[in-house]
Amino acid sequence: MDVLYILAQLFAFVACGLNVISMQCKKRKSILFFLILGNIIGAVGLIFLKAYAGALIQFVFGVETIINYVLEIKGKKNTPMLVAFYILLSVIVSIITFESYIDIIPLVSAILHTITIIQEKERKIRYINLSSLVLWIPYYIVFDAWANLITCLCIVVSNVVSIFRYDIKSK
């Protein structure tokens, strides 16, 4: 094991903690804040593993989420043009980094992420985010990103718990 591999695993676990925290937040602003941190740190970890398609898409996630966070603070909403830009940016990044069919997973996840962060209702954020998360599982397996896989599974569990806690139990 080299140093970059170990660093990638450490970054994945930090990203895990941040993403788990995000899904346990009740308010959209807090969810977005922790998603920003988790995506940026997770992207750096994927760079260490040379999983460039996934890393760049996670950086795109971070940028999209920062923009949506700022819009949330200012009390403004997404525009259809901004959503189209997010999707176009994800497609361009995916084309640039495409090496094999496994690289399609980050693109589909990116589109789902875009749909996630434009949601106004926290309930929809949690449900759509769950579908995006599940897609990463085979990607992490292919790249031997075991800490990322464990992270993803923890976030999936956290997401399911938050769905039960806020969306099912509180009804």
Are 20 and 49 within 8 A, CB to CB?
Answer: no
- Residue 157: other Cβ atoms inside 10 A: 12
pLDDT for 171 equals: 66
Query: pLDDT at residue 45 above 90?
Result: yes
Query: pLDDT at residue 170 above 80?
Result: no
For the chain, give the number of residues.
171
Q: Is the pTM of the predicted complex or chain greater than 0.95?
A: no
Q: For the residues 38-57, what does the mean pLDDT come to?
A: 92
pLDDT in tens, 110-153: 899 889 878 888 889 889 989 999 999 999 899 888 888 998 89
- Domain coordinates of the chain in residue numbers? 3-168
Q: Please, what is the Cα angle at 143 between 140 and 145, to 5 degrees?
A: 55
pLDDT for 19 equals: 86
pLDDT in tens, 64-121: 889 989 998 999 988 889 999 999 999 999 899 899 999 999 899 889 988 987 888 8
Question: What is the overall mean pLDDT for the chain?
Answer: 90
